[in-house]
A and B are shown apart, each in its own frame.
Chain A
Amino acid sequence: MVAFQGDVSEHVLAMERALGGGGSAVEVRRAGIVPRCNGIVLPGGESTTIAKHLARTGVGDEIRAAARSGVPLMATCAGLIVISQEIVEETRFLPLGLLDVRVVRNAFGSQSESFEANLQVEGFNSPYRAVFIRAPAIVGWDAEVDVLSRIEEIAVAVRGENVMGLAFHPELTGDLRFHEIFLDMI
């Protein structure tokens, strides 16, 4: 659990519930821990802040190496921005390039445009209640990337070979279906 900034404790709680005792979530704030993990989660928060900490501590390089060697990675909201291939009109930081998607930051506007919505998700037999907070949008993706859910023409949940990217916050509702997909990837 990359724990520099954001709603880390909510992610830890949700993951421990999903694990049900079959593993544990550890908070990572320095280099040397990621190489020993068999799954990586990048929570939501502020992407500019998280990107800065990833670069400064070397944890970003460790995540890149682990994900490229096949370790499963789940990235939500700001995390998705950080691992994307390209951020539209963004010069403040470079993404890690671990998921072949093009994203737009704050795609829906300021906090007053943040919303909850029921999503249709591929493989789910009932709608998924999703919480979008100053959320990014996935506006382009490689043919190898599966789109699991979309709002009109934009994608909000996608999956590459070992990487899942979500524009919303699966840790803020009690619904753990995306966590279960992630754990199945491990």
Chain B
Amino acid sequence: MQLEELRFGTELLKRGFAKMQKGGVIMDVTTSEQAVIAEEAGAVAVMALQAVPADIRKMGGVARMADPMIIMEIIDSVSIPVMAKVRIGHFAEAQILEAIGVDMIDESEVLTPVDEFHVDKSKFKIPFVCGARNLGEALRRTKEGAAMIRTKGEAGTGDVREAVRHMRMIMGQIRSLKGMTDEELTKVAREIEADYELVLECRDMQRLPVVNFAAGGIATPADASLMMQMGADGVFVGSGIFKSQKPELMASAIVEAVNNYDNPEKLVEISTGLGDPMKGIDAGTLQEGEILQTRGW
């Protein structure tokens, strides 16, 4: 066995990494103390941030990649994978995150976009996750090299309705491909501005070609169960943990809820005595300039 025969950064390794996250909860954290709480609760990974989405909303201004110092401290404090966010299209931030040694990059609408083009993710050794509201968007990101898709939802609101809408849209569009002829698929691919081969794969597999997580507004065990029942492979919880009254309890409860998503009796037990979830904002009351999900295309 010669070490020079090793191959790094292949598509199989990137998608494989994402598959290892299935059935898990990925939690937003801003300090190493929070990262340890997330790991102890059973999170499969943490997302290292300068501020959770709910605070990014409040602060306003330009939201950028986190300070490398924060990310490195979090990497040193836990054994589970660490992810971090870059602005849509900001490939230099992505290069910096890769150099720091994060395990996955989230090209995220929560930060302020810098380009109409998304990052060419195939140029990186580490995998990316990207947000999507519909099948076309999910497949455009997959074509650019994303190894994981997540619903955009409406981050930082604690209101799961937009994540539900996006998951319903993606799954419904995949179901509608069933039984279509190749000509019909070509038409769909053109209409949704997606690669034909990827549309074909969705028709045949009846799922996205990559792992598909729910994100954006998940704040309770019931929210997590709802998203899993709708077909999510796992969930991201952003502000929902550390903006709740008892983060340790909420974190464990959401991990357990993902595992028992189809067991209402067990969910009663899991949902009991958790204190107040994050207060949140009704996503329907947001003004146009406050909506994050429309960033990117």
Q: Would you list which residues of chain B between 114 and 154 have a CB under 8 Å from chain A?
A: 125-127
**A-B pairs with CB below 8 Å: how many?**
125
List the A side residues contacting B255 at CB < 8 Å.
49, 52
In angstroms, Cα B12 to Cα A169, docked, is 11
Q: Total interface residues on B, using CB and 8 Å?
A: 40
Majority DSSP secondary structure for residues of B touching A: loop
Residue from B16, B43, B98, B103 having most chain A Cβ neighbours under 10 A = B16
Q: Would you list which residues of chain B between 90 and 106 have a CB under 8 Å from chain A?
A: 98, 101-104
A69-98 near B? 1/0 per residue, CB < 8 Å: 000000001100000000000101000000
Would you call B44 and A111 a contact (CB within 8 A)?
no
Minimum Cβ distance to chain A for residue B213 (Å): 13
A110-129 near B? 1/0 per residue, CB < 8 Å: 11111111111000000000
Majority DSSP secondary structure for residues of A touching B: loop
Minimum Cβ distance to chain B for residue A156 (Å): 9
> Is residue B229 contacting chain A, with contact meaning CB distance below 8 A?
no
List the B side residues contacting A46 at CB < 8 Å.
20-21, 24, 44-45, 80-81
List the A side residues contacting B127 at CB < 8 Å.
111
Q: Would you list which residues of chain A between 1 and 17 have a CB under 8 Å from chain B?
A: 3-10
List the A side residues contacting B45 at CB < 8 Å.
46
A46-B44, A118-B5, A133-B17 known; A5-B23 Cβ under 8 A = yes
Would you call A7 and B1 a contact (CB within 8 A)?
no
The closest CB in chain B to the CB of A111 belongs to B103
Residue from B8, B12, B20, B104 having most chain A Cβ neighbours under 10 A = B20
> Is residue A60 contacting chain B, with contact meaning CB distance below 8 A?
no
> Is residue A151 contacting chain B, with contact meaning CB distance below 8 A?
yes
List the B side residues contacting A114 at CB < 8 Å.
8, 13, 16-17
A46-B45, A49-B24 known; A7-B13 Cβ under 8 A = no
Q: Total interface residues on A, using CB and 8 Å?
A: 44
The closest CB in chain B to the CB of A120 belongs to B1
List the A side residues contacting B126 at CB < 8 Å.
110-112
Minimum Cβ distance to chain A for residue B214 (Å): 15
List the B side residues contacting A45 at CB < 8 Å.
20-24, 44
List the B side residues contacting A111 at CB < 8 Å.
13, 17, 81, 102-104, 126-127
Residue from A6, A77, A119 having most chain B Cβ neighbours under 10 A = A6
In angstroms, Cα B127 to Cα A131, docked, is 15
Minimum Cβ distance to chain A for residue B72 (Å): 12
> Is residue A106 contacting chain B, with contact meaning CB distance below 8 A?
yes
The closest CB in chain A to the CB of B100 belongs to A110
A45-B22, A49-B43, A78-B20 known; A116-B7 Cβ under 8 A = yes
In-complex Cβ contact of B1 among A4, A8, A151 (8 A): A151
A49-B255, A115-B8, A120-B1 known; A106-B19 Cβ under 8 A = no
List the B side residues contacting A92 at CB < 8 Å.
39-40, 79
List the B side residues contacting A109 at CB < 8 Å.
101
The closest CB in chain B to the CB of A53 belongs to B259
List the B side residues contacting A7 at CB < 8 Å.
16, 19-20, 22
> Is residue A152 contacting chain B, with contact meaning CB distance below 8 A?
yes
List the A side residues contacting B102 at CB < 8 Å.
110-111
In-complex Cβ contact of A152 among B3, B8, B9, B75 (8 A): B3
* 9 closest A-B pairs by CB: A111-B103, A5-B23, A7-B19, A115-B6, A46-B44, A52-B42, A116-B7, A110-B101, A49-B42
User: Residues of A at under 8 Å CB distance from B?
Assistant: 3-10, 29, 44-46, 48-49, 52-53, 56, 77-78, 90, 92, 105-106, 109-120, 131, 133-134, 150-152, 169, 172-173
**23 A-B contacts (beta carbon < 8 Å):** A4-B259, A5-B259, A8-B22, A45-B23, A45-B24, A45-B44, A49-B24, A49-B42, A92-B39, A109-B101, A111-B13, A111-B103, A112-B103, A112-B125, A113-B8, A115-B6, A116-B7, A117-B6, A120-B1, A133-B13, A134-B20, A134-B81, A152-B3
